[in-house]
A and B are shown apart, each in its own frame.
Chain A
Amino acid sequence: MGLAILFVYGYPIIRLFDFSMRRIRGASGPFIGFDNYRFVLRNPIFQEAVRHNLFLLVGVPILIIIALIFASLLFEQLKGWKFYRFAFFLPYILAVPVIGIVFSYLLMLHGALNETLRFLRLDFLALDWIGSPNIALKTLLAIIVWKEMGFGIVLFFARLMSVSEEIYDAAKIDGANWWQTLWYITIPQLQIVIEFFAIVTIINLLSWIFAYVYTITRGGPGTSTQVMELWIFNKVARGAPNPGMGAAASVILFLGTIVLIFTLLRLRMRVGEEE
């Protein structure tokens, strides 16, 4: 059993490390040590891609805050809350390429959004959302937040449904307002789920956003929305002759993500011990 698991998960990773140290031509190539890593790390486009991935991590607190607020509002079970729950979750179940293509049409300079804004005489808001290097990455982030928040909302909401109502009743009796309830009851109750959601989102924003970038901006204009995954794709696919560099970048991304998550977990454990 252990061997089987080792083979299924371990073998591809070992091969990836092996690839990363070769000048791959076809299925293999000469061993060149850490040259591919040197080439990757000094590559200005890869460096830019890393910066963009790190910028996108801004999405983690944004997603958590939005999901928290909406989950709490749903928990109040206001009129029509089931419809809102469905509406929030809907984007999450749509395929990313579908969302990417739809948004790339909506957000063109002369796309539906800008034409609507112009019709409303809000021309100053009709920006080149995906065609301007100053805005394109932020546009991508907004689309990612729109799509991914549904998962956070449903996750938080499901956890809230299992919290004892007595705690909330007690808070009401004590005269806690909505924000106080959120801060002193809801968030502590959701702590584990928030941590889980944060980790999943970090992994997503580092290594699961290829489909967004590929379908919406293709990394452009110029290199303004280049991310690590797209850079790797350009090195390993489409007949690119140097998959070794793509493999080296994949190893860097893999190890970087592990280090980041491990650090977060360690931090969490330390906080837990102090508490």
Chain B
Amino acid sequence: MTDLTVSASTQDAADVAPKRRRRRYRPGEVGLAALFLLPSALVFGIFFYLPFFKLVSWGRFESTRGGGYRDVGMAQYREVLFGEPFKDGLIHSITFVLYTVPAGLVLGILLAVAAHRQLKGIKVFQAIFSSTLASSVAVSSVMFLFILNPVVGLFKVDWINERGWSLFAAALPSIWQNLGLAFVIVLAGLQAVPEEVMEAARLDGYGSFRRLVRITLPLISPVLLFLTVVLVVFGFQAFAQIDIITGGGPAGSSETLVFKIFRENQNYGAGAVLSVGLFVVTFVVTALQFAILDRRVHYDN
């Protein structure tokens, strides 16, 4: 009797065990995982999520003349996000991206294609082309501030202080500084293209330009997508260039979204709404990029 019950219960346990074991965690392992995840979790919680959720709630409050804040509900969101400051900032940010991203892609491809060949001393040229990696945004901005300076600079035009040109002046250091990164990334893509593919194209009588447009560029399109994403992110995040070269001026003509957020960083109400706006823009841009470009990209699989 007893034997039977025992065997029955073990049988039961054996039936249940596989299901249950999947759900049951070893306490030691969970503890260790918690310990390992804690540092990252603290940083992400305190410096990423907490400020973000605070910002979302601060957007309801408008700063008053007395230095206090009053709850205005969604009114401030509506005012700022559909008003002039946000629209201007967004247009300037997009313009900045349009100045820097296509230039970065085209120049990156040009440099990489030129330097992707078997020539003696090609390493020297590759080193020169990637050399702008050594400069920081601040360094390149200071360089261009004085190159473009109407008094000591090398040009007679004064782009920095001209409304239509100030944003372009601030974009120039970015274009220059991105050369190294764009070159390095596209070159890595080119080097990953199998030699046989190019050889086959050559035998089919494709000229070098047609080979580039019809075969090479489609083959490295994932790399170009990656570069585009990186450059667009850089473009939207650009700050030092504007801070150093134009200071947002003249007359706010080069104030991008990030610059406006920085300028409003003491005004927790409007600054918060602008930040939430930037979050939405970043989100939408990233999603759009992947949705549009992903379909045209050739992935070998």
A and B from one complex: no
